[in-house]
């Protein structure tokens, strides 16, 4: 549903900008599809809210909201907030918050794994970092992330080459201004092409090359040249969560499994259409448990 929403939004933005006349006719069809999607999404989150609410009410200890291992789900957190501030955290607000942008983190992970499969020596080095930092007796946790310097650099380099929101969000000038020598009137929509900035030969050394150590080696995110999450006041609110989610997924994949391409050819790195820059061909890969992790994995 998230992917479908992004595809439909991309269609709306592109067609509306380029062909306003066409848009008047096409809009009705798009609107119908968007409304149908909204109903489906509403129903999905609605059911999930009811399920969680019932489970929390039936729990004996009264605190509610924890799974068998004492962990809260995101929906539990939302329902706790609703208990303490019902006017602010209505069911509609919860549905909206739950829908925000899970797609970008998932597709960043997919791009990262694709790059690793095309650069097996990088994959091997990431596995070695995990072996020395975390070992084989336990699975990697969020507390390990600050120590995984190399993996972190891989993720930043992936976000440089494949920023999943390549044009950031459209912004509008609040007053007349000048951008790169051009006069821009107040109320003009401005798009920032982060994808192009990230590959600008004047800003980066060998910008087209995947250099896994780039962000360890000091060619860091200084100035305004690295902005996969935007900049300033309206920068992505979820940046901390997004980086941690991608890092934890990647570390778990690499720590626990051996990965291989499905064929001798390179993994296709072409970009497909859509607002969150999906891969043209979804990644397919072969994996099996790493020998050193079999014992731990079999206990899960
Ligand atoms: C790799 C994953 C992600 C990427 C690349 C990404 C990127 C972006 C970008 C480029 C923007 C627009 C910034 C601008 O206006 O210039 C944005 C906005 C936003 N993002 Fe993310 N995002 C990611 C994950 C997340 C997650 C996981 C959440 C929430 C859980 C989130 C929540 C938001 C929100 C709420 C905004 C709007 C902020 C505002 O307008 O003030 N994002 N994101």
In this predicted structure, what is the pLDDT of residue 159? 96
Over residues 243-256, the pLDDT tens digits come to 999 999 999 999 99
Per-residue pLDDT band for 284 (boundaries 50, 70, 90) equals very high
In this predicted structure, what is the pLDDT of residue 69? 61
Ligand 1 centroid to 238 CA: how many Å? 6
The ipTM estimated for the assembled molecules is: 0.98
Over residues 26-35, the pLDDT tens digits come to 677 788 888 8
Atom of ligand 1 nearest to the CA of 165: 10
Smallest CA separation from ligand 1 atom 17, residue: 236
CA distance 161 to 80: 39
Higher pLDDT, 129 or 13: 129
In this predicted structure, what is the pLDDT of residue 218? 61
Ligand 1 centroid to 194 CA: how many Å? 14
Q: Which residues contact 169 (CB under 8 A, 6 or more apart)?
A: 230, 234
In this predicted structure, what is the pLDDT of residue 102? 64
Contact 95, 41 (CB under 8 A): yes
Longest dimension (CA), the chain: 66
Instruction: Please measure the distance between the N-terminal and C-terminal CA atoms of the chain and give it in whole angstroms.
Output: 30
Instruction: Confirm whether residue 236 is marked as ligand binding.
Output: yes
pTM score over 0.90: no
Question: Does the pLDDT at position 25 exceed 70?
Answer: no
Ligand 1 centroid to 93 CA: how many Å? 17
> What does the angle CA 191 – CA 112 – CA 267 come to, to the nearest 5 degrees?
105
Smallest CA separation from ligand 1 atom 15, residue: 169
Give the percent of the chain with pLDDT over 90.
Answer: 64
Ligand 1 centroid to 92 CA: how many Å? 20
One-character DSSP codes across 61-104: TSS----TTSPPPHHHHHHHHHHH-TTTS-HHHHHHHHHTTSHH
Name all residues whose Cβ lies below 6 A of ligand 1. 100-101, 104-105, 108, 164-165, 168-169, 228-230, 234-238, 241-242
Any bridge partners for residue 287, and if so which? 259
Question: Does the pLDDT at position 65 exceed 90?
Answer: no
């Amino acid at each position: 549903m998230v992917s479908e929403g992004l595809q439909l939004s991309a269609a709306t933005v592109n067609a509306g900008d380029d062909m306003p006349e066409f848009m008047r006719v096409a809009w009705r069809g798009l609107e119908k599809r968007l409304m149908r999607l909204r109903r489906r999404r509403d129903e999905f989150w609605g059911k999930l809210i009811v399920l969680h609410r019932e489970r929390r009410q039936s729990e004996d200890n009264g605190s509610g909201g924890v799974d068998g291992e004492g962990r809260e789900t995101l929906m539990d957190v939302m329902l706790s907030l609703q208990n303490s501030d019902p006017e602010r955290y209505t069911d509609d607000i919860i549905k909206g918050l739950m829908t925000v942008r899970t797609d970008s983190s998932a597709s960043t992970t997919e791009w990262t794994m694709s790059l690793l499969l095309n650069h097996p020596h990088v994959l091997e080095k990431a596995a070695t970092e995990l072996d020395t930092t975390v070992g084989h007796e336990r699975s990697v946790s969020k507390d390990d992330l600050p120590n995984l310097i190399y993996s972190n650099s891989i993720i930043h380099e992936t976000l440089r080459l494949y920023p999943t929101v390549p044009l950031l969000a459209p912004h509008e000038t609040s007053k007349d201004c000048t951008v790169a020598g051009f006069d821009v009137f107040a109320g003009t929509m401005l798009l920032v092409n982060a994808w192009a900035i990230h590959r600008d030969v004047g800003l980066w050394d060998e910008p087209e090359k995947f250099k896994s150590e780039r962000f360890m080696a000091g060619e860091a995110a200084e100035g305004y040249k690295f902005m996969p999450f935007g900049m300033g006041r309206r920068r992505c609110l979820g940046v901390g969560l997004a980086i941690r989610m991608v890092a934890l997924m990647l570390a778990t994949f690499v720590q626990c499994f051996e990965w291989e391409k499905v064929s001798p050819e390179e993994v296709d790195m072409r970009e497909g259409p859509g607002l969150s820059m999906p891969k043209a061909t979804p990644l397919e890969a072969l994996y099996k448990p790493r020998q050193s992790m079999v014992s731990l994995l079999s206990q899960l």
